[in-house]
Amino acid sequence: MFTVPPIKGGAIQVLIDGVAPHLNKNHDLTIYCISDPELPDHEFVKGVEYIRVPRENYVYNVAIKLAEMTANKYHYDVIHVFNRPRDLLIYKSAMPESRFVISVHNEMFKEKKISSEMGKLVISAVDRIMTISEYIGTTISERFPSAKRKMKAVYSGINLNHYKPIWDPKAREIRQALRKKYGVENKKVVLFVGRLSAVKGPDVLIKAMQQVIKKHPEAVLVIVGSKWFSDDRIDEYGKNLRELAMTLGDKVIFTGFIPPGDIPKHFLLGDLFVCSSQWQEPLARVHYEAMGAGLPIITTNRGGNAEIIKHLKNGIVIDDYENPSAFAEAISFLLSNDEAANTFARAGRALVQANFGFEHVANRLEKLYLASMRRIKE
């Protein structure tokens, strides 16, 4: 859990921060989040109220604030709880007159996360359930069929002003400067952006590059990110990853931790983007970011990834996700076929512009909130 705005990152925090100014145009918006030494505990920014609460006993302290408001005959029309279904019951007991929306960004309704009894209580208590992908919705409805009538997939998005395609003149200048910084001016850059963990599969990608460079000696892999969201600490997996990369010499470049605000421009480093996820990814937001930057995408058919990346339309979807050769083949195809790469890139950018800007996400959320207040199926 991190704070909002996302000064230390976090996909959910980025989403909240992105939709807030759009929702605030027609509604009074209050955001409760974790406190941070760099931010005040209470402030108004451009009309949005921020109430930041210490991490320790966070849920109960927020509930106390809600209960105090209830005692003073005040309640929020809608309370949107992010990714913490069990906490919703505590908040509802503190402010029972409000309508409640839960958004689910991970497999939070699996047996290892929530008991059957508790899950049923949450489903009964909530007015609407937002899922970050159809895949996540399926993980809920398969176990709790009664949830289906309350559920709707609301895909994430990006700030289109922060993500410019690589063919944009201003983006080209940033791209050239970054590529010079990392010494890849005349290279074909295969880009990975994400946490350095086994579930994200950067090791599979490094192994794939061992094959790619035989056909494309000008190719390099740039790995943007670190193990942790907010700093550059290296764990055992990270050490092993670097040892594996050493076999390729200067063909693999690690940027280390990049502050969240600098991530958008780092997508401009790439000629193509690879999401090598090994786990059932809910739907990684890097797909929206890479499409926003105008990069052709290679992703895995895991979780919700293939819901927005359509094979041979706006990218390549790999079924054999554990096999480095499958990635090597896809990467080599895009490096050898400029026309296909450009077609995928422009299709992706068009898709994001039409559907996945934060204003689009905010509009879909607003409809969900209004539906929760009417208690009718949207």
Condensed to tens digits (0 to 9), the pLDDT of residues 285-337 reads 999 999 999 999 999 999 999 999 999 999 999 999 999 999 999 999 999 99
> Over 70: is that where the pLDDT of 375 sits?
no
| pLDDT value, residue 29 | 98
- First-to-last C-alpha distance (Å) of the chain: 30
Distance, CA of 307 to CA of 320 (rounded, Å): 17
| pLDDT value, residue 229 | 54
CA distances from 209 to 184, 206, 250, 332 (A): 16, 5, 12, 10
| pLDDT value, residue 117 | 98
Mean pLDDT of 28-45: 98
CA distances from 126 to 96, 214, 233, 303 (A): 11, 55, 39, 25
> Over 50: is that where the pLDDT of 376 sits?
no
| pLDDT value, residue 23 | 98
Token digits of residue 270: 């790439």
Residue 51, judged by CB atoms within 10 A of its CB (0-12, 13-18, 19+), counts as middle
Instruction: Identify the H or E element spanning 134.
Output: helix 134-141
Q: What is the pLDDT of residues 193-245, one digit of tens each?
A: 999 999 999 999 999 999 999 999 999 999 998 766 556 777 899 999 999 99
| pLDDT value, residue 235 | 87
| pLDDT value, residue 228 | 61
Distance, CA of 363 to CA of 67 (rounded, Å): 30
Supply the mean pLDDT for the chain: 96
| pLDDT value, residue 231 | 63
Residue 352, judged by CB atoms within 10 A of its CB (0-12, 13-18, 19+), counts as buried
Mean pLDDT of 88-96: 98
Could you tell me the sign of the dihedral formed by the alpha carbons of 266, 357, 129, 127, in that order? positive
Please report the domains of the chain, with CATH numbers, ordered by start residue. 11-157+358-374 (3.40.50.2000), 169-355 (3.40.50.2000)
Task: Please state the pTM of the whole predicted model.
Answer: 0.95
> Over 50: is that where the pLDDT of 377 sits?
no
**Short-list 265, 295, 303, CA closest to 316:** 295
